Structure 1
Amino acid sequence: MTFAGLGTVTLQVLVASPGSLRAQFDNVGISPDNAMSTANFDNVGFSYSANALFAAGVKPGGQITVDGLTHTWPTTNTGEPDNVIANGQTVEVNGGTRLALLGSAANGTASGTLTIAYADGSTEQAPVGFSDWTLGGGSQTPAFGNRVAAASAYRNSTSGTSQGITTYVFATQPIQLATGKQVRSVTLPTAVTGGSFHVFAVTTG
């Protein structure tokens, strides 16, 4: 695209497939260190540092494998939503015998009920929860059987300064899917107990 007197500008547009988790993203939780004010993961002013995550091996579009399930970290532009706060959103999924979520909670632990729908019209529910993204400032241990998927050395603030506190991304303990059935979709918890329940990826395998 060319603007008079400004030369050529390249715009990258990310298009989400209908029914995908990407299409449901409604929270900006990751900021680069040179633009900290672009994200507010916890609604208090803090966000994941993209730089610290990168140093920890978490890269846009990269893979994070936990319990044999390979999650894909979202690819988004600065200031774009990169995760969803659970509120009954339905996400289409395909195949596999196990299911897990990648994410964390803010402002305390968060838990709720996940609904799994199969191609034959049947559904089942499963409890699911995330630990606080800083583990209470380092005073807690992972809850709900969470696995630590990644740990970054610090987090960013909308004030423009970083905070030297270890910040985590968790994977839920895998949920065993019904034998002999084809999974069709997952509905995230509508009612959440505790803090806010943030999801970066929903993975089957």
Structure 2
Amino acid sequence: MRPAGLIRSLGAVVAAGALALLPATASAATPSTATATATAVSISPVDLDGPTISTVKVTVTNAGPERMRSLKVSFGGPVGWAVQPSVLQMDGSLAKGASAEATFRIQVPERRPGFTVRTFTATATYRGGDGAGSATGTRTQHSGTPLANLAAAYNNVGVTDESDTKPGNYDGEGNSFSAQKLAAAGLRPGGTVNALGAELRWPDVPSGTPDNVSAAGQAVALDGRGSRLVFLGSGVTSGASGTATVYYADGTSGSGSFGFPNWSFDPANAHGATLVASSDGRNRPDGYGNAGIAYRVFAHSIPLDPAKQVAFVVLPGNGNIHLFDLAVAP
């Protein structure tokens, strides 16, 4: 429930909402060209230290070849967060290269414990400009701290020693990779794994202890700049696919879908994955078995914006995806 005082305060400042023309940039005097550039919509930082009312400014820049007319700007946040005014309209028109700034107030509730991601969206509708008729901008902010690294999210035992197989439960049925057979295939604790242009590491933990992440939407800190984010792992069913979201240091985000084949039997290129290593047999609750059957580890990737610094990644919400490492590739 929102504090009544905040609701009254939000109503009191509605009249302060405004859509103001900002000083034109030098490009406003540049002659029009036949090629239009997309209208830009940006959102200022939002104060998430609630309960409070945060003032937010949305800037719309006309990068198209024509004057922009009938400009309206709307702004919204998470479900249930009140915003006033709901829409602002600009009188007159906006020259090429000029910007307009819309001011909104949003009611921010009390901060939740733990890590949360908040997404805000602004939409501009207009005539003229780039001719598209509308443009949207988003801003993503978070409160709390992501897990320090993937190891901090380990929640599954995927590798056991053949002399003690009982701790393993990679597939939910008590089975696991054999540490000895993985070593024979080149995967040793702390060892380097080169895949899809990235340098990854095999988990440097003792056999029979948590060594991988069953994906459940965990947020994991990651530093780097490159062309792709590479995941190392495998699936425990044929439905091990999902979407990961990458958050950049500038507050923007991007997402991509990937998947892994089942650790055995599925085609090695299922979901577009790349085979990294294949081990012989597996460990079962009663000891090593299934010799002659391959149990495998794969790599897959999603694209990154190479111009931006990665801050953290939110993993897919599909527990059939198991991850041993992730890294940014140049």
Match for residue 26 of structure 1 among 151, 155, 158: 155
Partner residue in 2 for 1:169: 297
Unmatched tracts of structure 2, length 5 or more = 1-145
* Deviation sequence 1:45-64 (CA, Å, 0-9, x none): 21000000000111000011
Distance 1:65 1:187, change over 3 A: same
Contact 2:225 2:306 in 1 (8 A): no
Question: How much has 1:115 moved relative to structure 2?
Answer: 0.4
Match for residue 135 of structure 1 among 265, 268, 290: 265
Q: Which aligned pairs between 1:30-49 and structure 2 lie closer than 5 A?
A: 30-49=159-178
Alignment of 1:117 onto 2:241: no
Partner residue in 1 for 2:220: 91
Contact 2:261 2:271 in 1 (8 A): yes
Partner residue in 1 for 2:237: 107
d(CA) in 1 for partners of 2:296, 2:207: 20
Larger Rg: 2
Contact 1:116 1:183 in 2 (8 A): yes
Question: How much has 1:40 moved relative to structure 2?
Answer: 1.2
d(CA) in 2 for partners of 1:78, 1:151: 18
Question: How much has 1:145 moved relative to structure 2?
Answer: 1.4
Question: How much has 1:82 moved relative to structure 2?
Answer: 0.3
* Deviation sequence 1:92-148 (CA, Å, 0-9, x none): 111131211000000323111100000001111111111100034xxx342121111
d(CA) in 2 for partners of 1:78, 1:180: 39
d(CA) in 1 for partners of 2:217, 2:205: 23
Alignment of 1:63 onto 2:192: yes
RMSD: 1.6
Contact 1:19 1:90 in 2 (8 A): no
Contact 2:179 2:207 in 1 (8 A): no
Partner residue in 1 for 2:58: none
Partner residue in 1 for 2:321: 197
**4+ residue runs over 2 A deviation:** none
d(CA) in 2 for partners of 1:68, 1:161: 33
Match for residue 184 of structure 1 among 283, 298, 311: 311
The code of the aligned residue for 2:312 comes to S
More strand by share: 2
Partner residue in 2 for 1:14: none
Contact 1:61 1:73 in 2 (8 A): yes
Query: RCO greater where, 1 or 2, for CA within 8 Å and sep 6 or more?
Result: 1
Distance 1:197 1:18, change over 3 A: closer
d(CA) in 2 for partners of 1:171, 1:204: 12
Contact 2:268 2:275 in 1 (8 A): no
d(CA) in 2 for partners of 1:141, 1:60: 24
d(CA) in 2 for partners of 1:197, 1:124: 20
Distance 1:179 1:55, change over 3 A: closer
d(CA) in 2 for partners of 1:102, 1:43: 19
Alignment of 1:151 onto 2:278: yes
d(CA) in 2 for partners of 1:47, 1:187: 26
d(CA) in 1 for partners of 2:268, 2:199: 23
Question: How much has 1:179 moved relative to structure 2?
Answer: 3.1
Question: How much has 1:18 moved relative to structure 2?
Answer: 4.8
Aligned residues: 182
Partner residue in 2 for 1:8: none
